[in-house]
Structure 1
Amino acid sequence: MKYLRVELRFPSDLLHPIHRLIDESDAVDRDVLLHGTILNEPRDTFLFYVEGDIDVYTDALRAVDRIRAFEVTQIDETGYYVFLTQRRDDIDEAMFGPLQRTGVVVVPPIDFRPNGIARLTIIGNGGALRDALAELPERIETTVLRIGEYDWRQDLFDPGLTDRQFDAVAAAVECGYYESPRAATVEDVADRIDASPSTASEHLRKAESAMMSAFMDLRELS
């Protein structure tokens, strides 16, 4: 079963007001759509994970007329679940319509990032996937980041690495940087990702820190 890791870039006038908040404010560090229910009725229900200043986030929710209700649950010092219901608009219809078809499944989460970017994973057969991407609105810039065989186990552990951090770790594993004894150097990793040794080293350090923190969080939940 093939999967696509897709990046969507929305022009500013098509941004949801909460996605615009991520662009314009430093108060929200992360906004991730974990689950959603889209039915044949005008209102949709979503569960988000939010990191940052929840007061700024909820003030923004209250200012959006089509968000009908929401509930916030605090997880830790900076993390929250936000359960909300909102009225669908024409942009939602244009966005979700092509992805709601036989042969295609959108696999959560959908990660909303600055600069109007949303990243998501889609699985399905080749023809349906091609048709879904082709029917997305032309003004939403679509980039396929990765194509591969889907394995649900990859979603059990997500340390939230940036693309460059992921590339650095992948290169390090491939060239033997993490073998014992070590079979490669930071310079070897840098050559593979076309970066300076200092940059490659920084990517690896940040990736390792994120992975260890995510692993400990996972252990605490188990």
Structure 2
Amino acid sequence: MRAIRIAITHTETTIHPIHSLVCSERELTRELILYVTTADGVETTINYVEGDPDAYESALRTELDVDEYEVYSDGTDGCYSYLRNELDAYNRDLATAFQRDTLAVIPPIEYLPDRRMIVTLVVTSREFRQFREEIPDELTVDVVSVGSVPRISQSRLTAKQRRAIRTAWELGYYDIPRTATLEEIATELGYAVSTVSDLLRRGQAGLVAAELGVDEYAR
């Protein structure tokens, strides 16, 4: 048995509307599915969404046809949600592939703004090949890592830090030579320049500390 971390890339038409909110809503940066079960084509999930809870609840209420939902702010930059919704054909087939008795899904399942679904499986090599054959052809499956111990995604970034760093990256702030300024990032985000500078510095410090395996606050 191995822990295989994969990225399943959806298209605009295959991604479920609920999970596509992190792709379409600027105030939302990441969705983590903490628990999921499917019965008779209806999916029930408990999620954590990084970003503005009000924007998330508003999108669920006004943009989507959700059978049942509740949203609970965590008091910071995110919220938990309970959702029940009927799956379309693509996602029903995808859910069936994950329900094989011979594999285990290690939560959380992660949805990112580029329509990637990141998930860790514990499975044999033979069973993994069969699993890939069951994934709908419209979806792309890439192996991110293979190891003996499941790797669960953890981030030291707050939602605001993640959004600032992503915006900086997209605008070219990290290009060589640099093609964006703090002022341009601040304009895009609607923040003060000093706020953007602080978000980037703290976020970068957290990423470096995570890479080095040290406590950034223990210096």
State TM-score, norm by structure 1.
Answer: 0.68
Deviation of residue 203 (structure 1)?
9.5
Deviation of residue 78 (structure 1)?
1.2
CA contact (8 A) 1:72 1:80 kept: yes
Deviation of residue 116 (structure 1)?
1.2
- Counterpart of 2:29, as a letter, is D
Q: Distance in 2 between matches of 1:19 and 1:128?
A: 27
- Counterpart of 1:13, as a letter, is T
Q: For structure 1, which runs of at least 5 residues remain unmatched after alignment?
A: 162-195, 197-201, 217-222
Aligned to 1:171: none
* Residues 14-37 of structure 1, C-alpha deviations (whole Å, 9 max, x = no match): 122233332222110221111112
Aligned to 1:178: none
Aligned-CA RMSD value: 2.9
* Residues 103-149 of structure 1, C-alpha deviations (whole Å, 9 max, x = no match): 11111111100121110001112211110012201110110010111
CA contact (8 A) 1:7 1:120 kept: yes
* Residues 12-63 of structure 1, C-alpha deviations (whole Å, 9 max, x = no match): 1112223333222211022111111223x23221001012122221122123
Aligned to 1:34: 34
Aligned residue runs from structure 1 range 37-186, under 5 A: 37-39=37-39, 41-62=40-61, 63-65=63-65, 67-151=66-150, 154-155=151-152, 158-159=154-155
CA contact (8 A) 1:102 1:128 kept: no
Larger helix proportion, structure 1 or 2?
1
- Counterpart of 1:135, as a letter, is E
Q: How many residues align structurally?
A: 171
CA contact (8 A) 1:159 1:211 kept: no
In structure 2, relative to structure 1, the CA distance for the partners of 1:210 and 1:50 (3 Å cut) is: farther
Q: Distance in 2 between matches of 1:159 and 1:87?
A: 30
Q: Residue 13 of structure 1: SS of its match in structure 2?
A: coil
Question: Percent same amino acid among aligned pairs?
Answer: 25
Aligned to 2:25: 25
Aligned to 2:170: none
Query: Which runs of structure 1 show a deviation greater than 4 angstroms over 4 or more consecutive aligned residues?
Result: 209-212
In structure 2, relative to structure 1, the CA distance for the partners of 1:3 and 1:88 (3 Å cut) is: same
Q: For structure 2, which runs of at least 5 residues remain unmatched after alignment?
A: 158-175, 177-201
Q: Distance in 2 between matches of 1:160 and 1:149?
A: 24
Q: Distance in 2 between matches of 1:29 and 1:77?
A: 14
Aligned to 1:189: none
In structure 2, relative to structure 1, the CA distance for the partners of 1:2 and 1:210 (3 Å cut) is: closer
Aligned to 1:173: none
Q: Distance in 1 between matches of 2:204 and 2:49?
A: 26
Q: Distance in 2 between matches of 1:208 and 1:80?
A: 26
Aligned to 1:3: 3
In structure 2, relative to structure 1, the CA distance for the partners of 1:209 and 1:79 (3 Å cut) is: farther
State TM-score, norm by structure 2.
Answer: 0.68
Q: Residue 17 of structure 1: SS of its match in structure 2?
A: coil
In structure 2, relative to structure 1, the CA distance for the partners of 1:119 and 1:14 (3 Å cut) is: same
* Residues 44-99 of structure 1, C-alpha deviations (whole Å, 9 max, x = no match): 2100101212222112212322x211111222221211011111221221111122
